């Protein structure tokens, strides 16, 4: 690099080029923000017509190919033509085509009429055929997607290489944004829109036009999914979704019990899962002896549709088994809603009412532009017919003028002068064929003047009338209901109708839990606990690190070396004897490699606090209830990881603890000095001040002797040397014990 080319505000490193001396925020703004905005505006988030750019480009290409009325063509042909508008490659375009097709069953109202294998949305492994084998055309509902698109109803823009025009939006005649599901992940935001039944969403729109305060629940019962299933109706949850555009919906599978074969047949599943994931999870639970009632599970899906068969062992109770399957698998799952939509190139999260009002504003604009287009056409046509009517008064004179004119260029001016015509009228008359210069033709054409006058008066009035435009929209919505409306695919199960299905009754009895350093756990019934701890069978070099009493109906919380917490029902553990090595927790809980449990406790109500002690001398008192906020089996950030964890304990009331450092500094303090934290990974409060190179080594609940000699009333404190006012009081470190890691 030349000296003149180097900006001395930058740093030049030999062999590495110039490292720009710019703030990171500026680099992100100039380099990353344009990409982020491109993904948000041009890829992932749908607009008010219900389409993402990739959908719109594909469907418009098919429309221009004549596939709205013509025969099917090879998908490969459509993919190739679409690349004129969408340069992202044939694979991405074909995947979009597959999702829009009827055969894939991803959409409640598919836009592509398909022939061939397009896979299934509910199957992970059922792959679609290559584009050269499948055929497509636009489905009939696309009549209402492209209606009047050639009448200036929407704006058009140049494609990526300025060789052709494409619509910015499509003039959909129904609220497609809510009639079909739409999922997208952008940069820093996402969109997840569930689908609603076409009849319900159209009727709701009609009622909103008539009454802006219409109660949505009267006409819009609940979402509707292409895969069917049972929607668990929760009024409060739906209210939240309808008002804010955010929330979740619970969906269950649809199943029946074949008494003759002792078999459960599942025919519909939630849209958020697949056949394979359900079958794999059931098999996994069977191998771990969690579903002992099942003898076999099979995927029997064929051309007739989805079907999962679960064979039961003799004496099994199907309802109880299904109750457990709902909890253990995705046969009951949740669809999370996030109605994030681009409105005027601005992402907004809107409720149902706001979305429909935005769509109505868009649709009114389309209708008005169409009326203006029609008005201009009729006025132009009327102008020509008025000129033709003037010729009717003296056809012979018109013929004589044309024959007498020597120059072709003077025909139109001569007609204009003699009949008082404007240039458009004269040009129209001059182009009439000789065969049409009969009175019948001219009278027939001039009769249209009255028709056009009436239409022009009505159109002019409609353009300025909000009510008339709304009537046009309502008429079209009623037509769509009649032509394409269908019954719901997803049934509604009222929440009050759901009785907690009986699960396998859990026997409750007293047990003792033993946890070892190597990660083995034993659950031993108290009545079988006759021998002492010395008679335990353990892995070579292993030892008991923690034990406690509980009952079989409690929940176990397991803390691990990498600050994760696992939830495990005590009843899920097998009853063992002292002479058995135990069950390996990392395998049961599917822990990561080299992850081991370090502490366990049992709870039924998540009361009390967790005490965490760290090597830097800090202690954290965290409410145990903060670990109950989710039903997930595994959570991260169970405790702070800035400093090594030294000690964990669960307390119901405040306790005195003894803390001792590596350099034999000691103090006793009460946990009432610590502020309770809700945040699980709180860094805590400094309790022991540590000198250079020193660190907290051991913690235990304090005994009376330690309380008398080493108690502090405030924190943080440096601590005392292991003596009491000149009198030596040695405490062997190994006697501190406790739940130290």
| CA nearest to 677, candidates 625, 617, 605 | 625
Burial class (CB in 10 A: 0-12, 13-18, 19+), 582: buried
Element (H, E) at 421: none
Burial class (CB in 10 A: 0-12, 13-18, 19+), 609: buried
Length of the chain: 741
Residue 329 CA: distances (Å) to CA of 269, 334, 573 = 11, 12, 19
DSSP state of 525: E
Are 738 and 613 contacting, i.e. CB atoms less than 8 angstroms apart? Answer: no
Are 700 and 657 contacting, i.e. CB atoms less than 8 angstroms apart? Answer: yes
Quote the distance between the C-alpha of residue 403 and its chain's center. Answer: 75
| CA nearest to 72, candidates 110, 116, 107 | 116
In sequence order, what are the residues at sequence separation of 6 or more whose Cβ sits closer than 8 angstroms to the Cβ of residue 4?
none
What is the Cα–Cα distance from 154 to 167, expressed in whole angstroms?
Answer: 7
Q: Is the peptide bond before 716 cis (omega within 30 degrees of 0)?
A: yes
Local structure of 239: helix, strand or coil: helix
The token duo for 190 is 């996402």
SS (H, E, C) 686-706: ECECCCCCCCEEEEEECCHHH
What is the Cα–Cα distance from 217 to 238, expressed in whole angstroms?
Answer: 9
Element (H, E) at 172: none
What is the Cα–Cα distance from 616 to 622, expressed in whole angstroms?
Answer: 18
Are 609 and 651 contacting, i.e. CB atoms less than 8 angstroms apart? Answer: yes
Pairing of strands 230-233, 491-494: parallel
Are 566 and 557 contacting, i.e. CB atoms less than 8 angstroms apart? Answer: yes
Are 201 and 220 contacting, i.e. CB atoms less than 8 angstroms apart? Answer: yes
Phi, psi of 443 (to 5 degrees): -65, -40
Q: Which runs of E-coded beta strand occur in 589-706?
A: 597-603, 609-614, 618-623, 634-635, 645-651, 656-661, 665-670, 676-677, 685-686, 696-701
In sequence order, what are the residues at sequence separation of 6 or more whose Cβ sits closer than 8 angstroms to the Cβ of residue 404?
none
In sequence order, what are the residues at sequence separation of 6 or more whose Cβ sits closer than 8 angstroms to the Cβ of residue 397?
418
Catalytic residue (choose from 12, 133, 160, 509): 133
Residue 265 CA: distances (Å) to CA of 268, 463, 614 = 10, 57, 53
Phi, psi of 37 (to 5 degrees): -65, -35
The token duo for 179 is 């009639």
| CA nearest to 414, candidates 396, 402, 424 | 402
The token duo for 310 is 């679960």
DSSP state of 42: I
What is the Cα–Cα distance from 194 to 335, expressed in whole angstroms?
Answer: 8
Element (H, E) at 192: strand 190-193
160 a catalytic residue: no
- Which letter, b or e, does each residue of 10-35 get, where b requires 16 or more Cβ atoms within 10 Å of its Cβ? eeeeeeeeeeeeeeeeeeeeeeeeee
Catalytic residue list: 133
């Amino acid at each position: 690099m030349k000296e003149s080319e180097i900006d001395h505000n930058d740093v030049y490193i030999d062999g590495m080029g110039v490292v720009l001396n710019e703030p990171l925020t500026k680099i992100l703004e100039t380099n990353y923000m344009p990409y982020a905005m491109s993904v948000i505006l041009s890829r992932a988030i749908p607009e008010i017509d219900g389409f993402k750019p990739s959908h719109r480009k594909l469907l418009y290409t098919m429309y221009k190919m004549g596939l709205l009325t013509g025969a099917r063509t090879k998908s490969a042909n459509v993919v190739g033509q679409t690349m004129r508008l969408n340069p992202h490659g044939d694979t991405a375009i074909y995947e979009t085509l597959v999702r829009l097709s009827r055969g894939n069953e991803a959409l409640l109202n598919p836009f592509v009429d398909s022939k061939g294998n397009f896979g299934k949305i509910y199957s992970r492994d059922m792959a679609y055929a290559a584009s050269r084998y499948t055929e497509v055309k636009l489905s009939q509902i696309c009549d209402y997607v492209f209606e009047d698109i050639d009448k200036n109803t929407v704006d058009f823009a140049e494609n990526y290489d300025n060789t052709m025009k494409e619509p910015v939006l499509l003039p959909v005649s129904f609220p497609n944004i809510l009639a079909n599901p739409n999922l997208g992940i952008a940069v820093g935001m996402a969109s997840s829109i569930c689908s609603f039944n076409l009849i319900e969403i159209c009727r709701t729109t009609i009622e909103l036009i008539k009454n802006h305060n219409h109660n949505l629940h009267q006409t819009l019962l609940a979402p509707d999914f292409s895969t069917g299933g049972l929607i668990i109706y929760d009024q409060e949850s739906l209210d939240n979704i309808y008002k804010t555009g955010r929330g979740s919906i619970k969906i269950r599978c649809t199943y029946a019990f074949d008494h003759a074969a002792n078999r459960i047949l599942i025919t519909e599943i939630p849209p958020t899962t697949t056949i394979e994931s359900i079958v794999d999870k059931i098999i996994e639970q069977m191998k771990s002896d969690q579903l002992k009632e099942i003898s076999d599970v099979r995927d029997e899906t064929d051309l007739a549709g989805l079907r999962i068969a679960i064979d039961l062992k003799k004496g099994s109770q199907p309802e109880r088994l299904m109750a457990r399957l709902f909890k253990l698998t995705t046969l009951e799952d949740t669809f999370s809603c996030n109605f994030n939509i681009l409105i005027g190139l601005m992402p907004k999260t809107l409720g149902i009412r706001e979305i429909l009002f935005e769509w109505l504003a868009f649709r009114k604009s389309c209708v008005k532009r169409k009326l203006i287009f029609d008005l201009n056409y009729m006025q132009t046509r009327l102008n020509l017919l008025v000129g033709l009517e003037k010729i009717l008064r003296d056809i012979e004179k018109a013929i004589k003028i044309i024959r007498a004119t020597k120059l072709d260029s003077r025909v139109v001016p001569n007609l204009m002068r003699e009949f008082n015509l404007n240039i458009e009228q004269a040009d129209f008359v001059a182009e009439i064929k000789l065969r049409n210069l009969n009175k019948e033709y001219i009278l027939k054409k001039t009769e249209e003047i009255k028709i056009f006058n009436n239409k022009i008066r009505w159109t002019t009035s409609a353009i300025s009338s909000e009510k008339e435009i709304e009537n046009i929209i309502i008429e079209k919505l009623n037509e769509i209901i009649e032509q394409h409306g269908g019954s719901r695919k997803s049934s509604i199960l009222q929440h009050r109708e759901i009785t907690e299905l009986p699960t396998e009754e859990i026997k409750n009895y007293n047990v003792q839990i033993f946890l070892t350093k190597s990660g083995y756990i034993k659950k031993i019934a108290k009545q079988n606990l006759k021998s002492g701890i010395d008679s335990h069978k353990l892995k070579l070099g292993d030892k008991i690190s923690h034990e406690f009493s509980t009952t079989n109906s409690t929940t176990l919380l397991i803390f691990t070396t990498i600050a994760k917490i696992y939830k495990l029902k005590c009843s899920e553990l097998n009853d063992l004897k002292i002479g058995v090595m135990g069950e390996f927790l990392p395998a049961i809980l599917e822990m990561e490699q080299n992850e081991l449990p370090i502490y366990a406790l049992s709870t039924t109500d998540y009361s009390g606090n967790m005490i965490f002690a760290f090597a830097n001398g800090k202690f954290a008192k965290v409410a145990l209830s903060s670990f109950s906020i989710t039903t997930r089996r595994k959570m991260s950030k169970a405790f702070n990881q800035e400093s090594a964890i030294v000690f964990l304990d669960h307390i119901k009331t405040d306790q005195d603890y003894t803390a001792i450092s590596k350099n034999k500094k000691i103090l006793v303090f009460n946990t009432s000095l610590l502020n309770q934290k809700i945040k699980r990974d709180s860094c805590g409060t400094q309790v022991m001040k540590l000198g250079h190179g020193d660190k907290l080594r051991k913690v235990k609940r304090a005994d009376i002797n330690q309380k008398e000699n080493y108690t502090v009333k405030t924190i943080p404190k440096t601590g005392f040397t292991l003596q009491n006012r000149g009198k030596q009081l040695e405490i062997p470190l190994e006697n501190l014990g406790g739940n130290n890691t």
